[in-house]
Structure 1
Amino acid sequence: MSEPKNVFTDMDGKFEGNDAFQKEGGTYFNPAEFRKLVEARRSVRKYTEEKIPDDIVNDCLDLALLAPNSSNLQPWEFYRIKNADVKRDVVTACFSQSAAKTSAELIVCVARRDTWRKHSKQMLAEFAKLPVETPKVAQTYYGKLVPFVYTVGWFNILTPLKWLFNTIVGVFKVVPRDPISSYGMNVWAVKSTALACENLMLAFRAHGYDTCPMEGFDSWKVKKAVGLPCKSEIVMIISAGKRADGGVYGPRLRFPNEQFIKTV
Structure 2
Amino acid sequence: MNAKSDIAPNPTLDEFRKVVRSRRSVRRFTNEPVPQDVLDDCLDLAMLAPNSSNLQPWEFFVVRTPELKDRLAEACLGQNAAKTAPVLIAVVARTDTWRQHSRMALEQWPEEKLPGIVEKYYSKIAPIHYNQGPFGLLGIAKKTAGLVVGLSRPVPRGPYSINEMKVWATKSTALAAENLMLALRAHGYDSCPMEGFDEYRVRRLLSLPEKGLVTMVLAAGKRAEKGVYNRQYRFNQDELVHYL
- TM-score between the two structures when normalised by the length of structure 2: 0.96
SS at match of 1:124: helix
Instruction: Report the alpha carbon displacement of residue 57 of structure 1 after superposing the two structures with TM.
Output: 1.1
SS at match of 1:38: helix
Q: Superposition pairs for residues 127-138 of structure 1, below 5 Å?
A: 127=109, 130-131=111-112, 133-138=113-118
1:137-167 CA distances to partner (integer Å, 9 max, x unpaired)? 1110111111111000133122221111000
Tell me what 2:32 maps to: 50
Could you tell me which runs of 5 or more consecutive residues in structure 1 were left unpaired when the two chains were aligned.
1-6
Letter in 2 for 1:218: D
Q: Distance in 1 between matches of 2:152 and 2:123?
A: 26
Q: 1:195 aligns with which of 175, 190, 194?
A: 175
User: In the alignment, is residue 103 of structure 1 matched against residue 85 of structure 2?
Assistant: yes
Q: Distance in 2 between matches of 1:135 and 1:207?
A: 37
SS at match of 2:227: coil
Tell me what 2:69 maps to: 87
Q: Distance in 1 between matches of 2:83 and 2:135?
A: 39
Could you tell me which runs of 5 or more consecutive residues in structure 2 were left unpaired when the two chains were aligned.
none
Letter in 2 for 1:63: L
Tell me what 1:4 maps to: none
> Are the equivalent residues in 1 in contact too, given 2:29–2:85 (CA < 8 A)?
yes
Q: Distance in 1 between matches of 2:140 and 2:190?
A: 45
Identity %: 47
Letter in 2 for 1:130: E
User: In the alignment, is residue 60 of structure 1 matched against residue 51 of structure 2?
Assistant: no
Q: 1:142 aligns with which of 109, 112, 122?
A: 122
Q: Distance in 2 between matches of 1:33 and 1:83?
A: 34
Runs of 4+ in 1 over 6 A off after TM superposition: none
1:12-69 CA distances to partner (integer Å, 9 max, x unpaired)? 135xxx6xx42xxxx5311121111100000000011111111111111111111111
1 or 2, which has the higher helix percentage? 2
Instruction: Report the alpha carbon displacement of residue 82 of structure 1 after superposing the two structures with TM.
Output: 2.4
RMSD of equivalent CA atoms:
1.4
- Counting matched residue pairs gives 244
Instruction: Report the alpha carbon displacement of residue 230 of structure 1 after superposing the two structures with TM.
Output: 1.9
Q: Distance in 2 between matches of 1:157 and 1:87?
A: 41
Stretch deviating more after TM superposition (163-172 or 83-92): 83-92
User: In the alignment, is residue 247 of structure 1 matched against residue 230 of structure 2?
Assistant: no
Q: Distance in 1 between matches of 2:133 and 2:25?
A: 40
Instruction: Report the alpha carbon displacement of residue 259 of structure 1 after superposing the two structures with TM.
Output: 1.1
- TM-score between the two structures when normalised by the length of structure 1: 0.89
Letter in 2 for 1:71: S
